[in-house]
Amino acid sequence: MGVRRYLFSKTASALLTLAFILVFNFLLFRVLPGNPAQILARNKLLPKEAIEEVERDFGLDKALPAQFVSYVRTTFQGNFGISYTFREPVSEVIAPRIWPTMLLVGVATLLSTIIGLLIGIYGAWRRGTAFDLGSLGFSLVMYAMPEFWLGILLLLAFAAGLGIFPTGGIETPGAGFVGFEHIVDVGNHLFLPALTLTLGLLGEYALIMRSSLLDIMGEDYIGTARAKGLRDALVLRRHAVPNALLPTVTLIALNLGFIVSGAITVETVYSWPGLGLLSFEALRAPDYPLLQALFLLFSGAVILANLIADIIYGYLDPRVRAA
C-alpha cells in the first residue's frame, strides 16, 4: 500500500469514527433520566407551562430529527449551547479549563514516558538482577493502583500530614503572585497531581518497554550483532531499543488521548481546575450540554491521537503500510 493510500485510509477511518461519535453523543444524553427543563430551572416542581416555555427557548420541543440537524449544525459552528450549571455558553466554560489540563497532562506524560522507558530498558537489559525484580514489582503495583487512591494517599501524607504542599487548586487564592513567584506557586500546586498521574502511568510504560525489549533481545539479528563483536551498549542503543520502541510509541500516542479524560479522578482529588474537574461538576448537576461538549472533546482527542499513532507507526515500520 502506498503512503498516500495509507494516509487516506487512516484519515477516512478517523472521520467515520468521529461521525459515529457525533451521532452517539446526541442520542446518549437524550436517554438519560431527568427533565432538562427542570434542571435548567432548578425546580422539580416547575409548572407545566413553565416547562414548555423553557423547552421552546432551548429547542427541546422539536422532533428528534430536527434537534439532531440543529445539533450537528451548531456543533460545526463551535456552538455547544448554554451550560445549565454556569448559565454561560459551553465554549466559554470549557476554554479556561483547557490550559490547566494540558499543563498537568503534559508534565505527567513527559515524566512518565522518560522514567518508564528508562526503567523498562535497564530492567530488561539487566534481567534477573535486583534492579529488574524491584522495578518490576514497583511497576506492577503502580499499574494496578487506582489513581484516585494514590492521589488520596499522597494528599494525606504530603499536604494534610506534613503540610509541604497545598491541598488543592492551581494557585494560592488572594496571593496575587506575578512573574517568577506565580510560576513557583503554580509549580507548588502542580507537584502532587503531576506526581500522582506520573506514577500511575510510568508502570504501564515500564512494563510494555521491558516486555518489548525482552522479545527483541531474542531475535537473530541481536545475536548476530553481538557475534560481530559490538559492545553491549552499542547493540542496545542501535539495534534493540529502536525496534522495541515501536509498541511504546503507539501506547504513548493513544494515552495522550485517554489521559485527558482519565485525569478526571486526579483533578477531582486535588481540585485542579481543568477539564477533569469540570466533567465531575457537569455529571453531578447533570449539565447535558456541557457533558455533550466534553464527551465530544475527549472522543475527538482519542481519535486524533489514534490517527497520529497510526501515522507514526506506519512511518517507523514500513511493513504496516504494506499490509
The domains found in the chain, sorted by start residue, are 100-322 (1.10.3720.10)
Cell of 226: 553481538
CA distance linking residue 187 with residue 81, whole number of Å: 34
What local confidence, expressed as pLDDT, does residue 148 receive?
A: 85
> Among 36-45, 154-163, 296-305, which is the least confidently predicted range?
36-45
Q: Is the pLDDT of residue 191 over 90?
A: yes
Distance CA 292, CA 296 (A): 6
pLDDT band for position 261 (cuts 50, 70, 90): low
Predicted confidence at residue 50, as pLDDT, reads 64
Q: pLDDT tens digits, residue range 215-255?
A: 887 777 777 777 777 676 777 777 777 777 777 777 777 67
Question: Among 196-200, 220-224, 280-284, which is the least confidently predicted range?
Answer: 220-224
Choice between 247 and 151, residue whose per-residue pLDDT is larger: 151
Residue 240 DSSP code: I
Output the CA–CA distances (angstroms, integers) from residue 44 to 8, 61, 88, 167, in the order listed: 50, 18, 22, 36
Predicted confidence (pLDDT) at residue 44 exceeds the cutoff of 70 = no
CB neighbour list of residue 42: distance below 8 Å, 6 or more residues apart: none
Write out pLDDT tens, residues 60-109: 667 777 778 877 888 888 788 778 778 888 888 998 988 898 889 889 88
Q: What is the per-residue pLDDT for 137? A: 92
Q: Point out which residues pair with 89 in neighbouring strands.
A: 82
Q: Which residues contact 127 (CB under 8 A, 6 or more apart)?
A: 214
The larger pLDDT score, comparing residue 164 to residue 174, is at 164
Confidence of residue 115 (pLDDT cuts 50, 70, 90): very high
Does residue 34 carry a pLDDT above 90?
no
57 pLDDT exceeds 70? no
Burial of 313 (0-12, 13-18, 19+ CB in 10 A): middle
Instruction: Please state, for a pLDDT cut of 70, what percent of the chain lies above it.
Output: 83
**Three-state secondary structure readout of 10-38:** HHHHHHHHHHHHHHHHHHHCCCCCCCHHH
Handedness of CA 21, 250, 265, 106 (dihedral sign): negative
Greatest mean pLDDT among 47-51, 69-73, 247-251, 311-315 lies in 69-73
Mean pLDDT of 107-115: 89
CB 230 within 8 A of CB 248: no
Q: Which ranges of 126-231 does DSSP label H, i.e. alpha helix? A: 130-144, 147-154, 179-217, 220-227
Q: How confident is the model at residue 6 (pLDDT cuts 50, 70, 90)?
A: confident
What span, in angstroms and rounded, lies between the C-alpha atoms of 302 and 261? 9
